[in-house]
Structure 1
Amino acid sequence: MASAAPAETGRTVTTDIPARLDRLPWTRWHWTIVIGLGTVWILDGLEVTVVGNIAGRLSEPGSGLPITSGEVTGLAAALYVAGACSGALFWGRLTDKWGRKKLFMITLAVYLGATALTAISFDTWWFFLFRFLTGFGIGGEYAAINSAIDELIPAEYRGRVDLMINGSFWLGAVGGSLLSIVALDTAILPKDVGWRLTFALGAVLALVILLVRRHVPESPRWLLIHGRDDEAERIVSSIERQVEAERGEPLARPEGELTIHQRRSVTFLEIARTVFSKYRRRATLGFALFIGQAFLYNAITFGFGAILTTFFDVPTGSTGYYFAVIALGNFMGPLLLGKLFDTVGRRVMISGTYLLSGVLLFGTAWLFGRGVLTAATLTACWCAVLFFASAGASSAYLTVSEVFPMETRAMSIAFFYALGTAAGGISGPLLFADLTGTGRVGDTVLAFQIGAALMCVAGLVASVLAVRAERRSLEDIARPLTAAATATKDRTTGQTAGSRSATA
């Protein structure tokens, strides 16, 4: 839908649009949103997994790049994460200011171009540069996509949908693992061609997603706050017509209205004051969840292939099979446990998944240290750990996207993602590459124990501070900064108009 010129801000608007979005039943339209927005996590999973699995091949003579395996799993991985952190902050601010749709189109285009240029790398500096820029695009996606999804999905389904979408990263990981098997088979592709084609395929998939994403609307919630309530009304009315046509019956009457004072932007000072003063307990929760999951995933995932080759003599061309197995376990966690986050509740499920994954990882470290594991049994242990860890990690994104006010949502996601990932995601791969590179069992056990300890600490924090956000509207969980006193719907007239405006 074409964007209308924003109305003059400074007006007071009473609207039932958030309630109308939340009372919608699940329909094909919602699946369109999931496919159009959620599939980018598949690309992220493809990127991370391919790089980890082809590290050994890139370091071999004849690959076309003068690079070592440690540089791929260490420096290149850290640069990718550093790009994602800086991209999240840069694009996150613009997402709150310019809108969700404009930014999730731009950030995907950045990812597409950087991935395509990675495929033609001719020297290490080029490879490092475009790994950073690929991450820069992906980081912006995290902020823009999570904001848009949570603002478009009904409250009853928000938890499970958010977890499933964030967990779809691991579908990309399965694809990346299997793709790397083909790419590393020199009987099929030359050493200097196969790894390039994996990056090229990522660019092609991004182009397809970009075409699908054109049909995803702007968030009506964002439009309301930024003086574009007429456009918000048109979008929601169109969605309601599609849903009623599909179901063959009228929708239930929405309950509750919201009165807001429209404005175009929120300053950094207001964001900081809101997050660190008014919602400081929620800020502590966000830090704990992101640091725990970021270290576990960015440290261990990047180095899994190296562990297999170093300690179990698994050929580099076969590591993809093992990674495909743990990636599938990762996806099944959010898929099977996601509904419980909406029924059992956020606090129990977030703390439980973090604590269980941490305890199981401690057990894996103990078994690894005793030398009783094989490549297959280590993979089985990791499947058990990551089944729970994946649901927990996905809930970190869900948490920071729903517990802060609408005006700060994208920036809050970006901020916690960047700081948490910087703490665990940049230092993690560098530290883990050094620990596994020594070839000493004790060093790898230590890396496992650090990741397990951080997950357990995050789980304990969540048991105390997690917000009971299940089946609640976003505006009820965290009242918008622009909100005035809640208006009461006029039941005597039966009026269900989308919004009513009055100049303040």
Structure 2
Amino acid sequence: MEVIRSTSREPMSSATAPAGTGRTITSSIPARLDRLPWSRWHWTIVIGLGTVWILDGLEVTVVGNISARLSEPGSGLPITSGQVTGIAAALYVAGACVGALFWGRMTDRFGRKKLFMITLAVYLAATALTAVSFSTWWFFALRFLTGFGIGGEYAAINSAIDELIPSFYRGRVDLIINGSFWIGAVGGSLLSIVALNTDLFAKDVGWRLTFALGVVLGLVILVVRRHVPESPRWLLIHGREREAEEIVSAIERKIEAEKGEPLPEPENEITIQQRKSIGFGEIARTVFATYRKRSVLGFSLFIGQAFLYNAITFGFGAILTKFFDIPSGNTGYYFAVIAIGNFFGPLLLGKLFDTVGRRVMISSTYLLSGALLFGTAWLFDRGSLTATTLTACWCAVLFFASAGASSAYLTVSEIFPMETRAMCIAFFYAIGTAAGGITGPLVFADLTASGVVGDTVLAFQIGAGLMCAAGIVAAFLAVNAERRSLEDIAKPLSALDRPR
């Protein structure tokens, strides 16, 4: 295999070299990772990193489904359903936004692996402490801290996955991993049915056990994650090329032994000026000047999907109980159905993002889901829906919306330079989610809890309108990133052949 080498180029002059730069290195490591066939090693990455989304889905769904039980006398908490779906939900998202920004910066600076271990530990500790909540303020504080941990996961995990998965499979793998949130949502829905059954558990015990189970599953993931390596791309840029070489060579040996044949030679290499860190000024110039149109795209995608999901999911239980007289203990069955529809979207459509292409698939999934939600709002306003048919409509909407929402994370992860990847994921997630995920629960909780048909219709229309607007933006600005290397889509800031 080709060994990483230092070039004979002279170091940049102090007038042009960024602060903190090191040696000039020419490497084929990115190309070597991208030309790998799919293997058992890649499944290890998917399981070790991607399965945390299942925990997030479990967490969010459980809280939504137990909101009615928490507000009942004897639950152990003096809290209302509106506080759970409004204030607690907003605090969870606020924590996720703050956590994404804090941990995202740390991820770009100190590496993917350190941070995806730390953020999972924070998430697990906060979830465990939520299970022993004894007062409203404690529950609120722990919802914020749980979100703080999961926000860091989004930045660290998405950047690590995209840097380890071959370019030929990156789109579908990223979508399916982000879509696995809904496997957790199915589990959370079914778990809440059992936990809310007072024949099995007391009112103040069942909901606590749901959080405890999440901790157990998270500990299993933490053990598996220990075997996931640091991103060789990150190591290369940060002056640790020997470690990067050892990791990639070990991966290649495993895959050659599995396939029983030598791997093809990499097609290209890249020359970079190694550097330890990137300042906020350079990150800001990169995002808002060099890649201004891509930034508009990222904002649009995140805000659109955040509002659509908040329009449906945060008021889900309240809509079923208030308009269709579904008992609070049975709403989990309905949510399990729409969660399955959510997961099948990325699962069945994911490959098309690598074949048909990003622009067509991102714009069409956003526009279709928005149009279908407008149709659902119209039928709901006419009184034409039952709990079953409304759930069927939501399934159709979210089949496309889930693929679109997952593609938002894929998009901001791959269209910005390597050195800013985690921070960009964090930034767009925080801004978009703050707009839709903090404002959304506060607005939609009142609309869907009012019991007025027109208010719920308005909630649907807001989510649908913003989703369609994002789809139109994507039709014009989406980047054709399918099957292209990350370095081709956006040159690293440390690349010597990058325009300056």
Report the TM-score range of the alignment, normalised by the length of the smaller protein: over 0.9
Contact 1:299/1:424 (<8 A) preserved: no
State the match for 1:91 in structure 2: 103
CA distance in 1, matches of 2:89, 2:216: 22
Question: 1:447-486 residue pairs with structure 2 within 5 A?
Answer: 447-485=459-497
* Deviation (angstroms), 1:299: 3.9
By how many angstroms is 1:9 displaced? 5.4
Which SS does the other structure have where 2:271 is aligned?
strand
1:367 aligns with 2:379: yes
Match of 2:142 in 1: 130
Secondary structure of the corresponding residue to residue 185 of structure 1 = coil
> What is the one-letter code of the residue matched to 1:112?
L
Structure 2: distance between partners of 1:452 and 1:191: 37
Q: What secondary structure does 2:79 align onto?
A: coil
| Distance in 2 of aligned mates of 1:251 and 1:302 | 49
Where does residue 21 of structure 1 map in the other structure? Answer: 33
- 2:8 maps to what in 1? none
**Counterpart code for 1:124:** T
Alignment correspondent of 1:112: 124
State the partner residue of 2:365.
Answer: 353
Give the C-alpha shift of residue 437 in structure 1: 1.8
Residue 426 of structure 1 corresponds to which residue in structure 2? 438
Q: Secondary structure at the match of 2:451?
A: coil
Q: Give the letter aligned to residue 483 of structure 1.
A: A
Aligned to 1:49: 61
Partner-residue secondary structure (3-state), 2:134 = coil
SS of the residue 1:10 aligns to: strand
Which residue of the other structure, out of 196, 200, 222, is the alignment partner of 1:188? 200
**C-alpha displacement at 1:438, in angstroms?**
1.3
Structure 2: distance between partners of 1:274 and 1:297: 30
**Structure 1: which amino acid aligns with 2:100?**
A
Q: CA RMSD in A?
A: 0.8
Instruction: Render the CA deviation track for 1:466-498: whole Å, top value 9, x for unaligned.
Output: 000000000000000000139xxxxxxxxxxxx
Q: What is the distance in 1 between the residues matched to 2:357 and 2:409?
A: 16
Residues 193-220 of structure 1: CA deviation (Å, up to 9, x unaligned)? 0000000111111111000000000000
Pick aligned residue for 1:245 from 253, 257, 278: 257
- Aligned residue for 2:314, secondary structure, equals helix
| Counterpart selection for 1:39 from 24, 48, 51 | 51
Give the match for residue 316 of structure 1: 328
SS at match of 2:24: strand
Alignment-mate amino acid for residue 496 of structure 2: A
Residue pairs, 1:73-472, within 5 angstroms: 73-472=85-484
* Bigger mean CA offset, 203-212 vs 359-368: 203-212
Distance in 2 (CA, whole Å) between partners of 1:380 and 1:279 is 40
Question: Which one-letter code corresponds to 2:279 in the other structure?
Answer: T
Measure, in 1, the Cα distance between the counterparts of 2:209 and 2:483. 44
- CA distances 1:215-242 after superposition (whole Å, capped 9, x unpaired): 0000000000000000000000000000
Partners of 2:59 and 2:211 within 8 A in 1? yes
SS of the residue corresponding to residue 262 of structure 1 reads strand
> How many pairs align?
479
Distance 1:39 1:220 in 2: 22
Counterpart-to-counterpart distance in 2, 1:302 and 1:38: 24
Alpha-carbon distance in 1 for matches of 2:26, 2:478: 31
CA distance in 1, matches of 2:409, 2:450: 34
Cα distance in 1 for partners of 2:359, 2:135 equals 48
CA contact (8 A) 2:373 2:464 kept: yes
**Unmatched tracts of structure 1, length 5 or more:** 1-7, 487-504
Contact 1:49 1:302 in 2 (8 A): no
Structure of greater relative contact order (alpha carbons < 8 Å, 6+ residues apart): 1
SS of the residue 2:204 aligns to: helix
Q: Separation in 1 of the partners of 2:422 and 2:50? A: 16
AA aligned to 1:14 is: T
Q: Distance in 1 between matches of 2:277 and 2:448?
A: 47
Q: How many angstroms apart in 2 are the aligned matches of 1:9 and 1:216?
A: 28
Indicate the larger mover: 430-439 or 257-266.
Answer: 430-439
Could you tell me the TM-score, scaled by structure 1's length? 0.94
8 Å contact from structure 2 (residues 315, 449) kept in 1: no
- Structure 2 match to 1:498: none
2:77 partner SS: coil
Find the aligned partners of 2:217 and 2:149 in 1 and give their Cα distance: 15
TM superposition shift of 1:302: 1.7
Counterpart Cα distance in 1 of 2:253 and 2:303 = 43
> How many angstroms does 1:38 deviate by?
0.2
Report the counterpart of residue 496 of structure 1 in structure 2.
Answer: none
Identity %: 83
Q: What amino acid sits opposite 1:429 in the alignment?
A: P
Contact 1:48 1:302 survives alignment (8 Å): no
Q: Is the contact between residue 97 and residue 265 of structure 1 (CA under 8 Å) also seen in structure 2?
A: yes
Q: Deviations over 1:178-205 (max 9, x none)?
A: 0000000000111000000000111111
SS of equivalent to 1:252: coil
2:13 paired residue number: none
Q: Which moved more, 1:431-440 or 1:359-368?
A: 431-440
Q: How far, CA to CA, are the matches of 1:294 and 1:86 in structure 2?
A: 16
- Runs of 4+ in structure 1 off by over 3 angstroms are none
Q: Which amino acid aligns with 2:31?
A: A
Note if contact 2:310-2:444 (Cα within 8 Å) is conserved in structure 1. no
Q: Which runs of 5+ in 2 are unaligned?
A: 1-19
Q: String of CA shifts for 1:127-161, please: whole Å, max 9, x gaps.
A: 00000000000000000000000000000000000
SS in 2 for 1:192: coil
Alignment-derived partner of residue 491 in structure 1? none
Q: Distance in 2 between matches of 1:50 and 1:299?
A: 18
